[in-house]
Amino acid sequence: MVQLNNNFLKLQDNYLFSTISKKVSNYKKNNPNKNIINMGIGDVVLPLPEVCIEAMQKAIIEMGNKDTFKGYGPEQGYEFLREKIATYDYENLPISPDEIFISDGAKCDIGRIIELFDTNNSIAVPDPVYPVYVDTNVIAGRSGNFNNINNKFENIEYLTMNAENNFVPSIPQKKVDLIYLCFPNNPTGTVLNKEELSKWVEYAKQYNSIILYDSAYEAFITDPSIPHSIYEIEDATKVAIEFRSFSKTAGFTGLRCAYTVIPNNLVINNTKLLDLYRRLISTKFNGVSYVTQKAAEALYSFDGFMQVNKNIEYYLNNAKIIKDKLNELSISSFGGENSPYIWLKIPNNMNSWDFFDMLLTTANIVGTPGSGFGPTGEGYFRLTAFNSLENTLISMDRLEHIF
Ligand code: MLT
């Protein structure tokens, strides 16, 4: 008889954003006339930058012509895009095009990367954090069982991030093999400065650990002292893999394009991780479409930079509107300055899912319950700035009526 991967049975509920989407659909079915404003999943609303549209139109013409048609592309991504990324995103940093892997999303890369590592490796995750890190490791059999008392998996080291420690996770007292860090953080919207990030690089060097650094939101950093890349820290190429995405910066959530950097310096037992990863993706992945990669390449031009910056400023302005209103209502909030996410402390000790229901039914606003991101998220709630200005203003007006 076929045996299932029983690790799936250890997962808690459905994937967070699927649970939310189901709850919202049910509410909509029973309340078809309500105007629901979605500030839950971090999905962009502004259309693709004009430079991308032009580049895709040209690329489609090429694909329709027998002399310029492209079949399978390189699994690692076209060199024209990898070169642009190395030149502009890693300007003055020791990253070369052959260390960059183009993909269909940071989420997919985060899911794929763990296949490089033995199941017995120990892992640490910030708490709260993007649920994909934990869920993928549960499925891979690395988590141990779920403990219903503390709401943690027994083999995962949770790095607490809360208002008390200023959302700076403390370095573990023991050795951990794989450490996930996500900054600007999803969901809290908080950042690490160079000094704080350096401590993690030092730790990883000391224990031969690997840091899986998710910097999908780096383009939202406004404070010039905050690092955009972990490779701004000396020696980080010896200990860190970095994930980035065009989803939130250029509105590619529906188009799909991202990339992962695996430096040549990352070597375990004389094996370069980059070679293993190339082997993995050539087995499981056929690359991102030529048309999409042309769209991404077009972002690395004067007009591309201007158009992306305009979109980022638009979302950051929404974030400011949200934060200002929360301040006015005396609701503590974090993030939102170097990030599109605002992390608020729920008033009156209400729990995260009760607050979710209350907000949905009384203000028709969808947010994300903090507990969905980890046990320390209980009592907190995430709102995103990824909406139209108009909807952001309406939602804040509604909030004012319920507080
Ligand atoms: C989020 O809302 O946390 C993100 O949109 C999820 C994702 O990027 O997959």
> What integer pLDDT is reported at residue 186 of this predicted model?
97
> What integer pLDDT is reported at residue 123 of this predicted model?
97
Environment class of 149 (CB within 10 Å of its CB; exposed 0-12, middle 13-18, buried 19+): exposed
Mean pLDDT per segment of 10 residues, for the chain of length 403 residues? 94 85 94 95 95 98 98 96 98 97 97 96 96 96 95 96 94 95 97 98 98 98 98 98 97 97 96 97 95 98 98 98 97 98 96 96 96 95 97 97 89
> What integer pLDDT is reported at residue 219 of this predicted model?
97
Q: CA separation (Å) from 183 to 197, 215, 219, 279, 388?
A: 10, 6, 11, 28, 24
The alpha carbon torsion through 253, 259, 260, 265 (nearest 10 deg) reads -160
Per-residue pLDDT tens digits for 218-237: 999 999 999 999 999 999 99
Name the 3-class secondary structure at 109.
helix
To test the pocket of ligand 1, the residue of 108, 186, 244, 255 to mutate (highest count of ligand atoms within 8 Å of its CB) is: 186
Taking the CA of residue 216 as reference, the ligand 1 atom at the shortest distance is: 8
> What integer pLDDT is reported at residue 12 of this predicted model?
82
| Cβ 41 under 6 angstroms from ligand 1 | yes
Instruction: Tell me how far apart the alpha carbons of residues 225 and 189 are, in angstroms, rounded to a whole number.
Output: 16
Taking the CA of residue 245 as reference, the ligand 1 atom at the shortest distance is: 8
Q: Which amino acid is at 387?
A: N
The alpha carbon torsion through 13, 367, 130, 183 (nearest 10 deg) reads -170
Hey, what domains does the chain have and what are their CATH numbers?
A: 7-48+303-402 (3.90.1150.10), 52-301 (3.40.640.10)
> What integer pLDDT is reported at residue 259 of this predicted model?
98
| Cβ 107 under 6 angstroms from ligand 1 | yes
> What integer pLDDT is reported at residue 15 of this predicted model?
80
Place of tokens 């599109």: 340
To test the pocket of ligand 1, the residue of 43, 243, 244, 248 to mutate (highest count of ligand atoms within 8 Å of its CB) is: 43
Spacing, Cα 41 to ligand 1 middle (Å): 6
Nearest CA to ligand 1 atom 5: 42
> What integer pLDDT is reported at residue 312 of this predicted model?
97
* Closest by Cα among 179, 254, 185, 171 to 216: 185
The alpha carbon torsion through 30, 36, 40, 45 (nearest 10 deg) reads 130
Spacing, Cα 104 to ligand 1 middle (Å): 14
Per-residue pLDDT tens digits for 349-367: 999 999 999 999 999 999 9
| Cβ 130 under 6 angstroms from ligand 1 | yes
Tell me the pairing of strands 178-182 and 210-214.
parallel
How many residues in the chain? 403
